Amino acid sequence: MLVFEKNSLTTEIEALIKKYGSNRTSLLPILQDIQILHGHISDFAQQEVARILDIHPVEVYGVITFYSFLSIEAKGKYIIRLCQTISCDLAGKASIAKVLEGELGIKFGETTTDKKFSLEYVNCMGMCDQGPAMLINEVVYTKLTPHRIVEILKTYK
Ligand code: FES
């Protein structure tokens, strides 16, 4: 008789379902935890979540693509999200974006070859009176200047 070893990702997903429950409202927290643990939600993880929750994989994919904090692609260890909404735009978002791209050698939407940094735009995150604003993973940085960007990036390199 053949015995297949259970994939460790399947075991992880089962543990998350135990933690959050197996109804539809559990889908988002489960995906958020997979994102935190793996930096993205792979095709296999999507299939397994759908299978175990008994929902269609398209539903899982739809949730991932709706939320900017979830991703189907592997991203950098540090995900830099610069606000692109009007207040931050007027406060100098473009010059901040230029410095970020120059310092990291990548464009927005890209990840450095060493998989350390990813650059993304996000919409308003509620710091409009303190723009330009950005997030590096869960840390918020406000009142950014080109000089501050260089100093902030030094602490992550
Ligand atoms: S417009 Fe940038 S945080 Fe609101």
Burial label, 4 (beta-carbon count in 10 A; 0-12, 13-18, 19+): exposed
pLDDT in tens, 100-152: 999 999 999 999 999 999 999 999 999 999 999 999 998 999 999 999 999 99
The pLDDT value given to residue 74 = 85
Angle, helices 93-104 vs 146-154, to 10°: value is 40
Is 112 near ligand 1, meaning CB less than 6 Å away? Answer: no
Mean pLDDT of 43-59: 94
Query: Are 125 and 86 a contacting pair, CB within 8 Å?
Result: no
CATH class, domain 78-154, is alpha beta
What distance in angstroms lies between residue 91's CA and the mean position of ligand 1's atoms?
A: 10
Among 82, 84, 120, 125, residue to substitute to test ligand 1 (most atoms within 8 Å of Cβ): 125
pLDDT of 75 over the 90 cut: no
Q: Is 87 in the pocket of ligand 1 (CB under 6 A)?
A: yes
* pLDDT of 2 strictly over 50: no
CA 111 vs. chain centroid, Å, equals 12
Asked if 34 contacts 70 with a C-beta cutoff of 8 angstroms, the reply is no
Q: Which of 21-25, 36-40, 63-67, 140-144 has the highest mean pLDDT?
A: 140-144
What pLDDT sits at residue 6? 65
Mutate to test the pocket of ligand 1, among 85, 134, 142 (most ligand atoms within 8 A of CB): 85
Task: Measure 142 CA to ligand 1 centroid, in angstroms.
Answer: 10
SS3 assignment, position 42:
coil
Q: Where are the domains of the chain?
A: 8-66, 78-154
| Ligand 1 atom, smallest distance to 86 CA | 1
